[in-house]
Chain A
Amino acid sequence: MSSESHGPSDLAHHFDSYEQQKESATLGMWTFLVTEILFFGGLFAAYSLYRSLYPEAFRAASHSLDIRLGAFNTAVLIGSSLTMALAVRGGQTGKPKTTFAMLLGTLLLGSTFLAVKAVEYADKFTHHHVPGPSFHFEGPDAPHAQLFFSLYFGMTGLHALHMVIGAAILAFMLRPALRGAWTPRNHNFLEGFGLYWHFVDLVWIFLFPLLYLIGRHH
């Protein structure tokens, strides 16, 4: 008759082994991340097109971004990647307290990033750099500068949305982490979320130079 309907509860009934379950989870999450690469990729394609068409406008608009805040945020996000990787390591080595502490650290660093982002956005609002009817830009080629800001808000906004979702999930992961939900035998959810968080960091690694560092030597 039907087999294995009462196996261990952390091995799904349709898998034959923990290894198969883990390999499937890893492949599944990476396949999803590839869709995210293409998703952000569409915006990067639009960016590369318009930057190649209007280099002056893009340079002037880029200079209106605060490079210190951008660099600080980059460091914060890389730090959060470190804590996330250490959280996963806590799951691999069976140390719930480490996992908990590192997840908490990731959440705090991620929240810092979002707070700084909010400050930057508020600054853009004050300077009327938000695309739309109230847009106003003092610099060469203002209409094309608006394209830069459309892409700035589009790309960093989409990125921030991914961070907000990640932060929300992190908050819900704290209690299970402390209770030892993720063991060396099965920590697929922890590892999968880690992959997602690192991916969000990867997007920013490219966004930072492309948006903040255009022609700064002028």
Chain B
Amino acid sequence: MAHPETSASSSAHAPHVMPLSTYFLVFAALMVGTAATVGAAYVDLGWANNAVALAIAIAKATLVVLYFMHVKENTRLIPAVIFSGLFMLLILFVNLLADYGTRGWLGVEGR
């Protein structure tokens, strides 16, 4: 796992530098996404409004994570760490909302 390296050979492991254009493209996409989410908010899509807003936010977040935060070039451990956090967040949301969502289903007072 660990091996000693001289400073000369460590430059052989220099990370891949993303081209400038990638950063500007991602920036442009994020701006478009922001405009889209504002615009979509003014259109009546019924229940889909929430889904669209969340989908755009997730898309923007994915771009930031993959490109600005360089996760695209990290080892696979990093996405595993991120997903474990998101999974636990999901568990918190699901069980919390499931409690409140199923209250009163049995017709028992206070439950």
State A53–B101 Cα separation when bound (angstroms): 9
What sequence of 0s and 1s flags, for each residue 10-31 of chain B, a beta carbon within 8 Å of any chain A beta carbon?
A: 1101110110100110110011
Residues in B with CB closer than 8 Å to A33 are 85
The answer to whether the Cβ of A143 comes within 8 Å of any Cβ in the partner chain is: no
Residues in A with CB closer than 8 Å to B4 are 4, 16-17
State A79–B67 Cα separation when bound (angstroms): 14
Total contacting residues, chain A, CB less than 8 A = 59
* Majority SS at the chain B contact face: helix
State A195–B68 Cα separation when bound (angstroms): 8
* Majority SS at the chain A contact face: helix
- Would you call B37 and A93 a contact (CB within 8 A)? no
Residues in B with CB closer than 8 Å to A185 are 7, 10-11, 14
Residue of A nearest to B79 (CB): A30
State A161–B27 Cα separation when bound (angstroms): 25
The answer to whether the Cβ of A78 comes within 8 Å of any Cβ in the partner chain is: yes
The answer to whether the Cβ of B102 comes within 8 Å of any Cβ in the partner chain is: no
| B68–chain A nearest beta-carbon distance, Å | 4
Residue from the list B13, B26, B43, B82 in contact with A217, Cβ < 8 A: B43
A75-B53 contact given A37-B89, A81-B68, A185-B7, CB 8 Å threshold: no
Name, among A78, A81, A82, the residue most crowded by chain B CB atoms within 10 Å (CB to CB): A78
